[in-house]
Structure 1
């Protein structure tokens, strides 16, 4: 009998089984990277504030063995109050539809009516979601950078070509109050990033939202490293952010990089990325791999990353459907007996 447990409420034996599943998935997906340690998985399970969203995480068990994870993200953003974002790992075993059914139940109870499913794009995943009535609406290229292999002279040239009417402001952990409005402007500018055919509204950011995310990331074991490109009047020209994982410091994540429309075409994006690379090599030399994700349709940013040395690692997909369509698709495929905890 399939059993679903709230990931925050696992006992030690159940948590150990979940960790075993996570590390098995790590080996299959990223054999060259360190495995997820217990502390990181626990912090992930406990997270309920990052990305301006509530999070629900389930672990599916079959005869005591952890067989699948379900993650439901319920955005707090009022512009997307009917949207649920979910991920099921893996999506090609017998537990997948049962996990999905439980996540949809939670989403419906919260008033959500539209669902975006996010995960690795594979033939199995595409067949799973298409079979339930969801459409592939967006693809994202994940790429990895070997930090030691970056051409240091190229980075110097990018920095030397920087405009002289803009300064870079470095921060860590929490953006200083005097620059928070500039950071809000850059976060808002990320709404220009391609979303292809996804039905999703622009996210509304403010200082309170960003400060809450700083705290949530820290609680999850993430060191937030930021650079702002600031004009003479204190307004924003751009920003880049990296997450350094305290549990696996060798594996860092390139988060947002954005240049505001009025300042594009001046080399600011390259400048910020080069400055961040130099900073990480000095302040976080243990970070040997930097991963990023870009919409396949974002040719400009992909070109910069390729020039810097990023190499494709995984193709990600977003499938979208009305929640009712997914419920109907599950019903057509039959139901599975389950218990709740």
Structure 2
């Protein structure tokens, strides 16, 4: 534990932490959400707590919470992958507006880097957005590398032409008669889980900019654990698959998610087509079919959001044609732990 006159920093394992700790962290996350996205519906605290409780078996998660009395005013979660990319520590760090410019972010970062290095990690990876400018300013002071510029893009469904979805589906059927598309709501069919895991690995072809990151390998076990978390939080998922008629191979998929109580927001997850099956209009076809079905199932939806690397021109072309527009500018940053140590060493008052 680290203390000073303004706060105390304590670590926690979210899978076993007392309910009161996770409730305070969830309340802090809602404060940050309200600053970044004041127009959005609130996240139910119980949903956030349940999400934090479900730690995947192939990662280690540690929280560092800065307390002011009984409130968490600053927070860092450190995600340590245990299979691939074991040189990296992924960090989500936030400080409430009233507590900024007092050295709290640096104090949390000291805990993070000490923990990361103790676990053999040599590089930190984190994200900032233009909705909280202090995050990017702090990251630049660290000397971190802006490794992957990206945007959250948003589709206002009031501006969507529904006929466009029909047109894209009809064009897909005409251009690619050797394929069929089919819908799946909720958990994936168990008998095809290995195929779906293999299809997920196509996401490794998406741009990662300058991130020092090796390919992630999806497995049936990872998919099962993810689905358990979804079931616990009530998250809804709709997937459209593209399948090659002759071989029966799954060649593409597109996914949408929404959360009960926050039904106005749809989140576009992965969309991927195997490279050897591209240029048949499959990407547009599966996205159109999936969105049309999602809107039939969730009439409350008002917006669709998705994250895209600025360099992902192929997917951006599809999204812009559908009506998505830039909503939030974001950057994935990376920095060596030695560089962070050097920065913190110049701030001895934080020890």
Give the structure-2-normalised TM-score: 0.87
Contact persistence 1:7–1:59 (CA under 8 A)? no
Q: Does 1:42 align with 2:23?
A: no
* Cα separation, 2, equivalents of 1:221 and 1:43: 10
Q: Does 1:155 align with 2:162?
A: no
Match of 1:191 in 2: 204
* Cα separation, 1, equivalents of 2:233 and 2:122: 29
Task: Between 298-307 and 54-63, report the one with greater CA deviation.
Answer: 54-63
Q: Does 1:65 align with 2:50?
A: no
In the TM superposition, residue 142 of structure 1 has moved relative to its aligned partner by 0.3
Deviations 1:205-243 (A, max 9, x none): 222222222223323432232121111222122111122
In the TM superposition, residue 148 of structure 1 has moved relative to its aligned partner by 4.0
Deviations 1:266-311 (A, max 9, x none): 1111111111111111112233322100001111211211111212
Task: Between 308-317 and 125-134, report the one with greater CA deviation.
Answer: 125-134
1:166–1:178 Cα change, 3 Å: farther
Give the structure-1-normalised TM-score: 0.90
In the TM superposition, residue 17 of structure 1 has moved relative to its aligned partner by 4.7
Residue number among 175, 178, 192 corresponding to 1:179 in the alignment: 192
Task: Between 82-91 and 186-195, report the one with greater CA deviation.
Answer: 82-91
In the TM superposition, residue 16 of structure 1 has moved relative to its aligned partner by 5.6
Residue number among 109, 113, 131 corresponding to 1:104 in the alignment: 113
Match of 1:80 in 2: 85
1:63–1:336 Cα change, 3 Å: farther
* Cα separation, 1, equivalents of 2:347 and 2:213: 28
Deviations 1:183-221 (A, max 9, x none): 223211111100111110011222222222222332343
Contact persistence 1:230–1:238 (CA under 8 A)? yes
Counterparts of 1:115-130 in structure 2, within 5 Å, are 115-121=124-130, 123-130=133-140
* Cα separation, 2, equivalents of 1:45 and 1:327: 28
Residue number among 233, 253, 257 corresponding to 1:239 in the alignment: 253
Counterpart of 2:307 in 1: which secondary structure? Answer: strand
Counterparts of 1:1-341 in structure 2, within 5 Å, are 1=4, 2-5=7-10, 6=12, 8=14, 9-10=17-18, 12=20, 17-49=24-56, 53-76=59-82, 78-90=83-95, 93-94=101-102, 95-121=104-130, 123-162=133-172, 163-232=176-245, 233-336=247-350
* Cα separation, 2, equivalents of 1:180 and 1:15: 33
Contact persistence 2:257–2:267 (CA under 8 A)? yes
Q: Which has the higher contact order (CA 8 A, sep 6+)?
A: 1
Contact persistence 2:13–2:61 (CA under 8 A)? no
**Structure 1: where are the runs of 5+ without partners?**
none
1:178–1:87 Cα change, 3 Å: same
* Cα separation, 1, equivalents of 2:306 and 2:294: 15
**Structure 2: where are the runs of 5+ without partners?**
none
Task: Between 202-211 and 290-299, report the one with greater CA deviation.
Answer: 202-211
Contact persistence 1:182–1:234 (CA under 8 A)? no
How many residues matched? 334
Counterpart of 2:348 in 1: which secondary structure? Answer: coil
Counterpart of 1:302 in 2: which secondary structure? Answer: helix
Contact persistence 1:237–1:260 (CA under 8 A)? yes
Contact persistence 2:180–2:243 (CA under 8 A)? yes
1:176–1:20 Cα change, 3 Å: closer
1:300–1:45 Cα change, 3 Å: same
Contact persistence 1:55–1:74 (CA under 8 A)? yes
